[in-house]
C-alpha cells in the first residue's frame, strides 16, 4: 500500500517539475518581449525551436489534485436538534467537507454502547477508515486482532501540522504507543480543568464560626456541625452535612485514588519505594471516612440509591448541603439554581484535607488522550493524515469549538466570547464529537466562557477562577498513579477475571459503609483480599508491576499530566 502511494507521489512530482521548467522558459521569453528584463543575455532572450515545440505540444497540467475520500466515525448521542440535522449530516459535517482537504462520509456510533456497533462494523468489513474512540479497554482488542494500522511512518511521510504538534507535545507520541512500541493512535491535548472538586458553604462556616477543615477528621466534624440545622433561615432544620454526586470519580480522590463509581476498587495500587504495589489501605481509610459521616446521619441515608446523582443535585441546588464532592461541570451548572433559591449562599472550593494516607490534589481532567486510530483495511491512509492535519489547524479547532466569528462568538481580550448562549447551544455545542479529533485545544478565556455583564454568569466565572486557583497546584500530590485512561488494558483472560469481580468488590465496600458494627471496613478489606487472590489477583498484580517497572518511561503518568498543566500555566501566563 505504501509503495503504491509513494509511486504516485513520485510520478506527480516529475510531471510538476517538468511543468515548472517549461513555464519558467515561457515566462523568460515573455519578459524579453515586453521589455521587463533589460539585462538578460541573448541566450536568455532567445527561446530555441525545440523549447518552442515543447511548449506548444506539452501544455501545463492544470487539473486540480484529486480529492481523497474517507469514512470517519462520530458519536451519536441523540443531542442534536432536529433543525440541525443528524450526527452524520449537519452544518459542521458540511463545513468540514466544504473547507477540508478530503471528502468525508461520517458513520454514527452510539455513545451508549460504541463497542457493539464497532464490533458489527469490523466483523462485516465496513468499519470506518478513521475510528474515534476514548475507551482504552475497548480499543485494546482491536489492536490485538490486528485491526489497527501503524501510523508512525504515515505521519512522518505525509503530515505537517500534526507532526509539528507532536514535536511540541511529546506526550502525544507516548499516548499513541501500543505494546509493540509502534505508534497506532492519534492523540489530542486539551485545556486543563479540575474534573472533581470539594466545595463548602462558606456562609455556613461563617455563621457557625467554623474554620475550613484541613484534615479528614475535621471534615467529618464540620459535616456533623452542618447537619440538622436551619442555616438558610427558612424555618426548616433540614441541613445536610455532606453529599457527593456519584456520576464519576468522587471522594476517593481525598485518599489518593480515582476510579469511576462503578469500580470502587478499580486500581488498588500505590507507588512505594519506586515500585507499583497492591495496596488496599487507601480504600480502607476512605470507607472509614464515609462510614463516619453515614453513622452521624450527616449525609442522605439513601445515597447509594442515587445512581445518577439527581437526588444529591436536588439537595445541593435547594441549598440543603454544606459540603459537596462533585464534578466542576455540575457545580458550575447548578450554581445558578442554587443562587436563585438561596441568594445568600456562598460556595467555595477547598483543598482536599489531609487523610491518614497523605494529602492529595483534586482530580484534573485528562489533558492528553488517545482518541483515534486508522482501520488496518484503510485504502487511502494519506487522506486520513490530511484530515487529521486539517483538524489540527487553529482555524478548524476554533470553528468547531466556538462556531463562526460574528455569528456565534466575538473576540474579547484575545479570546472567543459567545454572543448568544442559546444560539450557541442550539447550533454549535453538539460539535464536540467532531472536535475530539483536534490535536490541541483552543483555549477559553482564563475566567471561563462567561459574559461578565450577566450577574449569574459572573458568579459562575468567580467559581471557575476559584477552582483553578485552588486545584492548579502541582506541589500537592496527584491522586493516583495516573489518570484512569492511561492505565494499560489487561490481557483478555485477566480482564475477564477482573471484570467479573468488580461489582462484588463495590458491594463489599458499600456494605461496610452502611452496616454499622455488623460489617466493618476492616472486614471488607479482608474479604476483598481473599476474593482478589482467589480470582487471579496475583497475576494482575504482576502484570501491572511489570508494566510500571518496564514501560513507565513510555507511559503517561501523573508527572506527565502535571507537566502539561505547568506548561499551560506558563504559556497562557495564568495567575490569580
DSSP state at residue 440: B
Give residue 248's pLDDT. 59
CA distance linking residue 459 with residue 452, whole number of Å: 9
Confidence bin at 60 (pLDDT 50/70/90): low
Indicate the SS3 state at residue 371. strand
Strand partners, 104: 70
Percent of the chain with pLDDT over 70: 88
Contact assessment for residue 282 and residue 257, using Cβ atoms and an 8 Å cutoff: yes
Q: How confident is the model at residue 24 (pLDDT cuts 50, 70, 90)?
A: very low
- The answer to whether residue 185 scores a pLDDT higher than 90 is yes
- The beta strands (E) that lie in 86-205 are given as 103-110, 130-132, 185-189, 196-201
Measured from the Cβ of residue 175, the count of other Cβ atoms closer than 10 Å reads 26
What is residue 429's DSSP assignment?
Answer: G
CA dist 34 and 32 (Å) reads 5
The 10s digit of each residue's pLDDT in 413-431 is 889 989 998 999 999 999 9
Residue 15: pLDDT band by 50, 70, 90 thresholds? very low
Per-residue pLDDT, 64: 67
φ, ψ dihedrals at 324, nearest 5°: -130, 130
**Contacts (Cβ under 8 Å, ≥6 apart) of 429:** none
DSSP line for 353-365:
PBBTTB-BPPPBP
C-alpha 122/C-alpha 148 separation (Å) is: 11
Q: How far apart (Å, rounded) are the C-alpha atoms in residues 378 and 18?
A: 32
Count other Cβ atoms within 10 Å, centred on residue 500.
Answer: 11
Inform me whether the pLDDT recorded for 366 exceeds 60: yes
- pLDDT tens by residue, 515-530: 999 999 999 999 999 9
- The pLDDT assigned to 10 comes to 36
User: Residue 302 gets which letter from DSSP?
Assistant: T
69-190+367-440 matches 196-363+457-547 in fold? yes
Q: Given this model, what pLDDT does residue 62 score?
A: 60
Q: In this predicted model, what pLDDT tens digit does every residue of 260-286 receive, in sequence order?
A: 777 889 899 999 999 999 999 999 999
Q: Taking residues 286-293, report their average pLDDT.
A: 98
Transcribe 450-489 into DSSP letters: --TTSHHHHHHHHHHHHHHHHH--TTSBPSSSS-GGGSPP
Inter-helix orientation angle 521-534/492-514, to 10°:
160
Q: What are phi and psi of 185, to 5 degrees?
A: -125, 140
Q: Which architecture, in CATH terms, is 196-363+457-547?
A: 3-Layer(aba) Sandwich (3.40)
DSSP labels, 498-549: HHHHHHHHHHHHHHHHHSGGGS-HHHHHHHHHHHHHHTTHHHHHHHHHHHHH
| DSSP codes of every residue in 219-277 | HHHHHHHHTTS-TTSSS----EEEEE-TTSS-GGGGGT----TT-TTS--EEEETTEEE
Contact at 8 Å (CB) between 120 and 470? no
In the chain the first and final C-alpha atoms are separated, in Å, by: 53
| Listed residue (234, 447, 449, 245) closest to 343, CA to CA | 234
Average model confidence (pLDDT) across the chain = 88
Lowest mean pLDDT among 3-12, 165-174, 333-342: 3-12
What pLDDT was estimated at residue 47? 40
Q: Which is higher by pLDDT, 24 or 562?
A: 562
Q: Is the pLDDT of residue 256 over 90?
A: yes
Residues contacting residue 488 through CB under 8 Å, at least 6 positions apart: 136, 544, 547, 551, 555
Check residue 467 and give its pLDDT. Answer: 97
Q: Distance (Å, rounded) from C-alpha 130 to C-alpha 178?
A: 17
Q: What is the architecture of the domain spanning 69-190+367-440?
A: 3-Layer(aba) Sandwich (3.40)
| Residues 20, 18: Cα–Cα separation, whole Å | 5
pLDDT value at position 535? 94
Write down the pLDDT at residue 361. Answer: 97
Q: What pLDDT, on a 0 to 100 scale, did the predictor assign at position 308?
A: 86
Is the pLDDT score of 288 beyond 70? yes
247: confidence class by pLDDT, cuts 50, 70, 90: low
CA torsion angle 378 382 387 392 (round to 10):
120
pLDDT at residue 61, as a whole number = 57
Q: Alpha carbon 55 to chain centroid distance?
A: 56
Per the model's pLDDT, the better-predicted residue between 45 and 187 turns out to be 187
As a whole number, mean pLDDT of residues 396-409 equals: 96
Contact (CB, 8 A) for 366 and 485: yes
Q: Which residue has the higher pLDDT, 422 or 14?
A: 422
Output the pLDDT for position 453: 85
pLDDT for res 45: 39
pTM of the model as a whole? 0.82
Give the whole-angstrom CA distance, residue 195 versus residue 366: 8
The pLDDT assigned to 14 comes to 39
**What is the Cα–Cα distance from 252 to 528, expressed in whole angstroms?**
17
Query: Who wins on pLDDT, 353 or 263?
Result: 353
Inter-residue contact 407 to 399 (CB < 8 Å): no
> Which of the two residues, 44 and 554, has the higher pLDDT score?
554
- What is the distance between the alpha carbons of residues 464 and 446, in angstroms, rounded to a whole number? 9
What's the CA gap between 387 and 392, in Å, rounded?
A: 9
CB of 161 closer than 8 Å to CB of 393:
yes
Look at residue 501 and tell me whether its pLDDT is greater than 60. Answer: yes
Q: Are 311 and 317 in contact (CB under 8 A)?
A: no
Once rounded to an integer, what is the mean pLDDT over residues 62-84?
A: 90
* Residue 131 backbone phi and psi in degrees, to 5: -105, 125
Q: What is the pLDDT of residues 432-471, one digit of tens each?
A: 999 898 887 788 889 888 888 889 999 999 999 999 999 9
Domain extents in the chain: 2-57, 69-190+367-440, 196-363+457-547
Distance CA 37, CA 229 (A): 93
pLDDT value at 234 more than 70: yes
Amino acid at each position: 500500500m505504501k509503495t503504491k502511494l509513494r509511486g504516485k507521489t513520485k510520478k506527480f512530482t516529475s510531471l510538476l517539475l517538468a511543468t515548472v521548467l517549461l513555464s519558467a522558459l515561457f515566462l523568460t521569453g515573455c519578459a524579453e518581449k515586453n521589455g521587463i528584463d533589460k539585462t538578460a543575455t541573448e541566450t536568455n532572450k532567445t527561446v530555441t525551436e525545440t523549447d518552442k515545440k515543447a511548449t506548444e505540444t506539452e501544455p501545463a497540467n492544470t487539473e486540480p489534485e484529486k480529492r481523497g475520500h474517507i469514512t470517519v466515525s462520530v458519536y451519536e448521542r441523540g443531542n442534536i436538534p432536529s433543525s440541525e440535522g443528524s450526527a452524520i449530516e449537519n452544518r459542521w459535517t458540511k463545513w468540514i467537507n466544504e473547507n477540508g482537504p478530503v471528502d468525508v462520509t461520517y458513520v454514527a456510533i452510539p455513545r451508549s454502547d460504541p463497542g457493539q456497533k464497532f464490533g458489527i462494523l469490523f466483523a462485516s468489513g465496513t468499519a470506518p477508515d478513521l475510528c474515534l474512540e476514548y475507551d482504552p479497554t475497548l480499543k485494546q482488542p482491536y489492536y490485538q486482532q490486528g485491526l489497527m494500522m501503524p501510523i508512525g511512518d504515515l505521519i512522518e511521510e505525509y503530515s505537517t501540522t500534526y507532526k509539528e504538534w507532536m514535536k511540541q507535545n511529546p506526550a502525544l507520541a507516548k499516548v499513541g504507543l501500543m505494546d509493540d512500541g509502534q505508534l497506532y493512535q492519534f492523540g489530542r491535548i486539551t485545556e486543563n480543568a479540575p474534573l472533581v472538586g470539594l466545595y463548602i458553604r462558606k456562609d455556613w462556616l461563617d455563621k457557625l464560626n467554623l474554620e475550613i477543615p484541613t484534615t479528614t477528621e475535621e471534615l467529618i466534624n464540620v459535616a456533623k456541625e452542618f447537619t440538622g440545622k436551619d442555616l438558610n433561615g427558612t424555618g426548616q432544620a433540614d441541613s445536610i452535612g455532606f453529599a457527593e454526586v456519584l456520576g464519576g470519580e468522587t471522594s476517593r480522590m481525598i485518599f489518593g485514588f480515582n476510579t469511576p463509581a462503578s469500580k470502587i476498587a478499580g486500581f488498588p495500587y500505590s507507588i512505594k519505594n519506586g515500585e507499583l504495589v497492591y495496596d488496599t489501605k487507601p480504600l480502607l481509610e476512605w470507607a472509614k471516612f464515609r462510614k463516619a459521616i453515614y453513622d452521624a446521619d450527616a449525609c442522605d441515608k439513601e445515597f447509594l440509591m442515587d445512581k445518577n446523582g439527581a437526588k444529591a443535585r436536588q439537595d445541593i441546588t435547594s441549598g440543603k448541603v454544606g459540603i459537596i464532592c462533585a464534578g466542576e461541570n455540575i457545580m458550575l451548572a447548578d450554581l445558578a439554581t442554587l443562587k436563585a433559591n438561596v441568594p445568600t449562599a456562598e460556595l467555595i472550593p477547598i483543598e482536599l484535607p489531609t487523610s491518614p494516607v497523605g494529602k492529595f490534589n483534586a482530580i484534573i481532567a485528562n489533558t492528553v488522550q488517545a482518541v483515534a486510530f486508522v482501520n488496518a483495511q484503510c485504502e487511502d491512509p494519506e487522506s486520513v493524515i490530511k484530515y487529521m492535519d486539517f483538524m489540527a489547524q487553529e482555524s478548524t479547532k476554533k470553528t468547531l469549538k466556538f462556531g463562526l466569528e460574528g455569528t456565534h462568538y466575538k473576540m474579547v481580550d484575545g479570546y472567543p466570547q459567545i454572543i448568544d448562549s442559546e444560539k450557541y447551544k442550539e447550533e454549535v455545542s453538539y460539535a464536540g464529537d467532531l472536535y475530539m479529533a483536534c490535536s490541541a485545544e483552543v483555549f477559553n478565556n482564563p475566567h471561563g466562557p462567561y459574559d461578565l455583564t450577566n450577574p449569574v454568569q459572573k458568579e459562575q466565572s468567580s467559581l471557575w477562577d476559584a477552582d483553578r486557583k485552588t486545584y492548579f497546584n502541582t506541589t500537592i500530590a496527584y491522586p493516583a498513579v495516573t489518570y484512569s485512561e492511561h492505565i494499560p488494558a489487561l490481557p483478555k483472560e485477566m480482564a475477564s477475571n477482573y471484570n467479573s469481580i468488580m461489582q462484588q468488590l463495590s458491594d463489599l465496600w458499600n456494605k461496610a459503609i452502611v452496616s454499622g458494627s455488623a460489617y466493618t471496613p476492616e472486614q471488607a478489606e479482608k474479604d476483598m483480599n481473599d476474593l482478589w487472590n482467589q480470582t487471579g489477583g496475583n497475576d494482575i498484580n504482576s502484570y501491572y508491576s511489570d508494566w510500571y517497572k518496564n514501560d513507565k518511561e513510555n507511559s503517561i503518568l501523573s508527572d506527565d499530566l502535571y507537566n502539561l498543566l505547568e506548561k499551560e500555566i506558563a504559556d497562557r501566563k495564568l495567575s490569580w
